[in-house]
Amino acid sequence: MRQSLHGHGASRGNALGRARVREPHALEVAEERIGPEQAQAELARLHAAIGQVRGEIRTMRDQLHGALAHEVGEFLDLHTLLLDDPELLQGLDELVGTGLYGADYALRLQRDRLAAVFEGMDDAYFRSRIEDIDHVIGRVHAALHAHEAELQGVAGEILVTDAVAPAEIGRLQAQGVLAIVTSTGSTLSHSAILARSLQLPLIVNAPQALAQINDGAVLVVDGATGEIVVEPNADDLRAYRARVREEKRERKQLRRLRREPSKTLDGVDMKLWANAESREDVAEAHALGVAGVGLYRTEFLFLQSREVPDEHAQFRAYRDLVLGMTGRTVTIRTLDIGADKADDTGLALRHEPNPALGLRGVRLSMARNGLLETPLRAIARASGYGPVRVLVPMVSGREEIVAVRRLLERVQRDLRAEGHETAERIALGAMIEVPSAAIALPTFVRELDFLSIGTNDLVQYLLAADRNNDALGDLYSPLHPAVIRLLHGIVR
């Protein structure tokens, strides 16, 4: 019987095939207490499972070849880091060894603790990192009970499951899966990012999928709209075939147009720039013919390790980014992170009741020794390989820009004296996201080479409305007259 279900489109594309339903591996275990005499054996069992998963990930990493080695490798490395995270391991050891909880229940408790930290973050991307925690802990739980983690024989099928790990995405595509539908998940998850990079249709957060779709049912999925049609009729199939034809036509047309100039009908040049978070994003942006990278978020480097990355690690990342764009300008934003995320980076910051209004962005970078100079040195070194710009977040006024400019110029002089090649001059810009910077812009605009308007935070601060508070959804509006007037003033 035909029915239509809906989720969130996370990766565009259309697919028609039979469903392969994978039942969720539940972590909803009841509270289990053990006796003191059982603690060591339970700890040994838990650590054996963690070691098994670590070995499985290493094996998957070693088996990657070609493009997948880059596409999937970064996510596997992240999961290895999570497995080695002292906070995760110490928490589990305490729950079992001291709290005398069984290993299964300890995993659930530690997962919930970490989830509470991530869910309290104000950035949707970082909130979605809980999915990586879920994937890792889920694999450990499966290893505890010797569950088979691999999925075989999915060629020509559409996988329907509760969640899918980034490491699975590449393997499933290589096996010939047509599309993936999950009952949970975020469009900002690593799995979604990877699916988009691999052009594999993905629908997430379709809560009825597992309950309403039977194994073997015929499905039509639309990764753009998030619609899943179960047992489609003739009209659905005609519509599907029309979408596929249109998709092919659009891709063919875009391939022809991607090298053409971006210009409005009245003759105004409009340059299209890309956001980038990884080498894969850079490769895709380059292939699409964008003018450059308009925003590279350096905080992703910091969040991949519990230690602050040193100058050489940052330099390698920025150099690869610049080389990947082959002469097109790359805009690198200095660290934009606050107390709500700092615990995951090796930065020890005191708790702040309102991190969004606290020590974040350039405020934090200027307050901590080396936190601004080290990235600027790395960026300046990368400038010897291609054009780069520096973007400063959370600017409140002229003083911060002047200070960053002076430091950047000193860093360049120092590097040249050390024998490093750098650009003659590196463009410096500001994120206009604090109302004071927007209002006072005429007083320091001459200090800037460019600017970028951070509308999310600007709207939030201007309207005093937390964008993550559902109760304020009607008030938080980018089209509010005050926002439009302020934007007009900035652009003018």
pLDDT digits (tens, 9 = 90+) for 60-92: 777 666 555 656 677 777 788 888 888 788 889
Q: Sorting pLDDT into bands at 50, 70 and 90, what band is 126?
A: low
Distance CA 235, CA 222 (A): 15
Provide CATH 3.50.30.10 ranges for the chain.
3-19+153-256
pTM of the model: 0.57
Domain 260-453 fold: TIM Barrel (3.20.20)
Distance CA 473, CA 272 (A): 30
In Å, the largest CA–CA distance within the chain is: 80
Single-letter code of the amino acid located at 287: A
What's the rounded mean pLDDT across residues 389-395?
97
Contact 200, 208 (CB under 8 A): no
The radius of gyration of the chain from alpha carbons, rounded to an integer in Å, stands at 25
Exposure string over 307-318, b if 16+ CB within 10 A, otherwise e: ebbeeebbbebb
Contact 102, 108 (CB under 8 A): no
What DSSP character marks residue 397?
S
Q: Sorting pLDDT into bands at 50, 70 and 90, what band is 267?
A: confident
The residue count of the chain comes to 492
Q: What is the pLDDT of residue 368?
A: 84
Rounded to 5°, the CA angle 65-68-72 comes to 125
Distance CA 293, CA 278 (A): 11
The domain 36-144: what is its CATH number?
1.10.274.10
Per-residue tokens: 396: 């409140």
Provide CATH 1.10.274.10 ranges for the chain.
36-144
Rounded to 5°, the CA angle 258-451-488 comes to 95
Q: What is the pLDDT of residue 25?
A: 65
Provide CATH 3.20.20.60 ranges for the chain.
260-453
Contact 126, 133 (CB under 8 A): no
CA dihedral (165, 170, 171, 173) positive or negative: positive
Domain 3-19+153-256 fold: Glucose Oxidase; domain 1 (3.50.30)
pLDDT in tens, 17-52: 999 998 876 666 778 888 888 889 889 989 998 988
Q: Which residue has the higher pLDDT, 130 or 304?
A: 130
Q: What is the pLDDT of residue 446?
A: 95
